[in-house]
Chains A and B, each alone.
Chain A
Amino acid sequence: MKKTSLVQIKADEKAKVLEILGGTNLESKLLSMGVYKGKQVVKLSHIGLKGPVVIKSGRSILALGHSVAEKIIVEKE
């Protein structure tokens, strides 16, 4: 098991959220949108080198800015 961020995994890979860095505001925002520790997500795409990351969490599709995606630490499955 390796810890990486959402930025580093490839499109179509599944991962489990381990940790959300970057303060309580971001964490609670993501939490209220359904992304929290232990949640399984699928990365759908990554636009450009420093662009946003699109993930699927439950039945929602979420677009995360590059620096948000960097702060979501996941474990690849």
Chain B
Amino acid sequence: MIKKIYLIGNPNVGKSVVFSRLTGVQVISSNYPGTTVEIAKGYLILGQEKVEVVDLPGTYSLDPTSGAEEVAVSLLKELPKDQIAVINIIDSTNLERNLLLTVQLIEEGYPVVLCMNMCDDAGHRGVYIDFAKLEELLKIPVIATCALTGQGIKLLTERINEAISAPKPGLTHQDRWLEIGKIIEQVQRLEHRHHTFREILEDASVRPVTGLIMAVGIIYAAFKFVRFAGEGIISRITDPLFMNIYRPLLEKLSAPWQEKGFFFHLLIGDLISGKIDFKQSLGVLTTAPYIEFGMVLPYVISFYFILCLLEDIGYLPRLAVLLDNLLHRLGLHGYAVIPVLLGFGCNVPGILSTRVLESKRERFIACTIISIGVPCVPLQAMIFGLLGKFGGWYVSGVYLVLFALVIILGVILNRTLTGYSPEFLLEIPPYRFPPLLMLWKKLYLRIKGFLVEALPVVLLGVCFINILLYFKLFDFVTAIFAPVIHGLFGLPKEAVVALAIGFLRKDVAVGMLMPLGLTANQLFIGATLLAISFPCIASFVVLAKELGIKGLIKSTAIMVTISIIVGSALHFLVLH
């Protein structure tokens, strides 16, 4: 009687894709090891029964050497072996390395079904496997699948029941490799192929000179695309919608509203020379939806499109190799580029994915650097929207300041923090070109995630601010902080409100700067300060979860100190 099904396998063999196929639960999958940092659970109908399916983080063996592997192995021991089934997922293009875990699972008496995934790719790469022979040698069900297309998944579910426990005496890893070598000789035939274009690219991207040229080219192209596509969506779709349809509609509906009292102020906001101005009115129905849909969402779409593409192709681990040297100086190693890049989308998944880093020290450095120096897409979109019209220098200026901060802060943390930073050891996946449908699904998941998280906060946030403004409740706070904001940072005292709102959401906070009529330099300081000061509340919560209260306090203290220093320094440099 199977009560639970576990999916286990080496990192980056497509466990999450198989999981989605089995359970219908959509989870994010990418082409790099360590995408799954949280355990996903779902259900599969097996005969009459509904059985729980658990997607475990990738592991190379049952002797854990990292935190994620430990989690995988301990979960596997939750239930007695006769109540579970284990689907061991294997990358068919790399059978030999994957079999170590399989052999170990069989030895320890787990009821195993072998799911030979990516078997279409194996064929393309000249790897031919005799599945029947493998089944005979291992004495467990072996099923060839291609989870991306769904091929073989039905057969897999049908044969789960055939998994039986048949423990064997345990071997050492060294002996296991010998054993596996013998199996490979009998079941795998390699056809020698000339280097394909794909393999030449794979090779070139990890060599020093060609790799660097490719990296610069790809990052530049990605950045250009995000701006181009983001602006394109704004000028062709969202702006016409807001200006030509939504505004006239709102104006018509609110026209009979003669008395401009509390609710008018709350919903529509202030009229700017008798008209609704989406950037300055500050109403729940005007500025709030415009910030989210008209300024931020277009960039969220274009950014995640590029990120999903790079993730699925498998470029990111190669970037990690190239940046390892630099990141070592900051107390991190190459793989920290993954959390940092995710952080550019939204700091929350960025901070969560610092779990791919092993030591506490590394994770503290990575989390702090992400919170301070990595602006999320909503914030960046607003910076483009606001500072862009004053010229590219202001926008680049913000990035330059943030980059310099990351480097300086990283070097200092690396020199002062105790603890250790473990070594860089990473498997580089081959380039893969997943079907477009998979890309759209993932993009959809991420954009949905963004809207679900952001929209309620933005609407409630603007509502809340308007109530406070209407009843002049901010004046008290403004009065207290005015000396700091005005004296140190050279900003008008109304900017206090915007900086305080930064705790709620960064994009709304920048939006609050819009009606203040700031000069370019003041906007530059305000935007930079918003980027480096407190993270928004959502990041704050995950920071607390990931670093613990002590770590959070330490990290926050660093943020506040740096904000004050940088704000004053910029004020002195720019405004004097």
Contact = CB atoms under 8 A, between A and B. Distances in A.
Range of interface residues on chain A? 20 to 34
A48 B206 CA distance: 11
Interface of A is mostly: mixed
Interface in A1-48: 11, 25-26, 28-34, 36-37, 44-48
A54 interface: yes
A25 B65 contact: yes
A36 B177 contact: yes
Contacts of B328: 50, 65
Given A63-B206, A63-B425, A65-B424, A47 B211 contact: yes
B211 A58 contact: no
B60 interface: yes
Contact of B65 (A32, A52, A67): A32
B120 interface: no
Given A36-B173, A36-B177, A47-B321, A63 B423 contact: no
A51 B173 CA distance: 29
Contacts of A34: 96-97, 100, 177
Nearest to B188: A59
Nearest to A31: B173
B428 interface: yes
Contacts of A36: 173-174, 177
A64 B425 contact: yes
A61 B174 contact: no
B63 interface: yes
Interface string B155-185: 0000000000000000001100100000000
Interface in B202-247: 202-203, 206-208, 211
Nearest to A30: B425
Contact of A59 (B94, B174, B203, B334): B94
Nearest to B320: A63
Contact of B61 (A32, A45, A63): A32
Interface in B301-349: 317, 320-322, 324-325, 328, 333-334
A36 B60 CA distance: 14
Contact of B97 (A37, A44, A59, A64): A59
Nearest to A27: B173
B427 interface: yes
Given A36-B177, A47-B324, A48-B208, A65 B96 contact: no
Interface in B90-149: 93-97, 100, 127
A48 B334 CA distance: 13
Contacts of B479: none
B426 interface: yes
A63 B177 contact: no
Given A28-B173, A63-B428, A50 B325 contact: yes
A41 to B, nearest CB: 13
Contacts of B427: 33, 60-63
B207 A44 contact: yes
A45 B177 contact: no
Interface of A: 11, 25-26, 28-34, 36-37, 44-48, 50-52, 54, 58-65, 67-68
Lowest 8 A-B CB distances belong to which pairs? A65-B424, A32-B61, A32-B60, A51-B325, A61-B428, A65-B423, A29-B65, A34-B97
Interface of B: 60-61, 63, 65, 93-97, 100, 127, 173-174, 177, 202-203, 206-208, 211, 317, 320-322, 324-325, 328, 333-334, 423-428, 430
